[in-house]
Amino acid sequence: MSRPIILGIVGDSAAGKTTLTKGIAQILGTDNVTLICTDDYHRYDRQQRAEIGITALHPDCNHLDIMQQHLSLLRTGQPILKPVYSHKTGTFEPPQYIKPNKFVIIEGLLGYSTRAARECYDVRVYLAPPEDLRAKWKVKRDTQKRGYTPEQVLAELEKREPDSEQFIRPQRQWSDIVVSFYPPCDDHDEANGHLNVRLVLRPTIPHPDFTPIIKLTNDDSGSAIRLGLDRDMGKPVDVLEVDGHATLEQVNKLEHILCSDMPYLTNVCDRESNPELGKVAGTTGETLQSYPLALTQLIITYHMLKATQIYQ
Ligand code: G6P
């Protein structure tokens, strides 16, 4: 019997979880995807948190036991009655009945914090942008969408730092893929759509054979796409880097590797029929296509599809 395939997207506040999640859902077809944000499992509303002096990042501030129960129910295809936290009002709304689709994407702050929760995912992604970039993204989002002033956001970031260090960042070790978008060193304008990406690929899931990329790298050490070996949190990993200025020709070589193993992606890579691929908002709200984002979305989707072959 088939069961839903579960993807985790975990990372600190404003690390880019929603942008990545939305893009992947578009590729898989939004009708096939159930999106869950674990912020809904906050134990206290905004006012209570302020009174108690606890941040949303602390495990005690979240119903992690219920989140875990819900994850295992979703994994076996069963419905849940999910709490709803409104970022707009900082309070809870009536719960929602959710029946999982073929794919479930769970994004949030503490998704990998317990062993039982970690075991529910087929693919685990951790988002780790440089901290100064994350701060900029957080100021932008929280001032534009959540009614905060820049000063409030910066003060909040400082207040949360000890919890980020203790509870959020250690979860990186449990991921199959660590995604870090970062500005090229000669360009500090993070919103121009040309961020580079560094993907840490752990051997915990079967990655596509990227070795043809090594040849590319050896032929031309200045290549905009590079594959190498490194260590991450003490463990050996492969690292794939894609620069924002990579050309379509270079990107196509990598896409070819993915598509030859997963033909479904061939249609997805057709940019004319899929303008959503790698779509990102520029500084003035205009839409840009980012190759590093597109490739990240494709690689994660590849793993979701692979999991359907392995586990269904
Ligand atoms: C961070 C997280 C949110 C979380 C929120 C709670 O900003 O990114 O996802 O729900 O903290 O704080 P709030 O601003 O809603 O009081």
- What are the domain boundaries of the chain? 1-127, 176-312
Are 160 and 211 a contacting pair, CB within 8 Å?
A: no
Predicted pLDDT of residue 177: 98
Take atom 1 of ligand 1 and give the residue whose Cα is closest. Answer: 13
Predicted pLDDT of residue 282: 74
Predicted pLDDT of residue 158: 96
How remote is the CA of residue 67 from the centroid of ligand 1, in Å?
Answer: 17
Predicted pLDDT of residue 192: 57
Tell me which residues of the chain have a pLDDT lower than 70: 1, 186-193, 215-222, 283, 312
How remote is the CA of residue 200 from the centroid of ligand 1, in Å?
Answer: 27
Are 253 and 265 a contacting pair, CB within 8 Å?
A: no
The radius of gyration of the chain from alpha carbons, rounded to an integer in Å, stands at 19
Given the CA of residue 13, which atom of ligand 1 is nearest to it?
A: 8
Predicted pLDDT of residue 217: 58
Cβ neighbours for 5, distance < 8 A, ≥ 6 positions apart: 102, 103, 104, 122, 123, 304, 307, 308, 311, 312
Predicted pLDDT of residue 165: 98
Predicted pLDDT of residue 218: 55
How remote is the CA of residue 56 from the centroid of ligand 1, in Å?
Answer: 6
- The rounded distance, in Å, linking the Cα atoms of 109 and 106 is 10
In words, the CATH class of domain 1-127 is alpha beta
Distance of CA 48 to the CA centre of its chain: 29
ipTM surpassing 0.85, yes or no? yes
- The rounded distance, in Å, linking the Cα atoms of 63 and 44 is 9
